[in-house]
Structure 1
């Protein structure tokens, strides 16, 4: 996942059901109300947003 562009979307660590570790990539699967799936990839790279540690969304095709 290194070298992939970031979208600017962030997700705070406290949104995860487990401990987030720096340097890891996390896969988030959202199931929409129409039953379709949306898969997003977030990387933990030490970024802070509004005083909270966050993961950043990575653009993956």
Structure 2
């Protein structure tokens, strides 16, 4: 079941235009105070956490 969830998560991430995301981050200087991880990794980790909670809700 976990592989299916990762495939769905990968499909969701593929919907996000990385170049547009990078341009928006640069425009708004969203990475300004990030020293350890970049904003893309932060977004992916938040989405993964959210999807894990969402899928666990559906499976109970």
Q: TM-score, normalised by structure 2?
A: 0.20
Structure with a larger share of its residues in strand? 1
Structure with a larger share of its residues in helix? 2
Q: TM-score, normalised by structure 1?
A: 0.20
Kindly name which structure, 1 or 2, has the bigger radius of gyration based on alpha carbons: 2
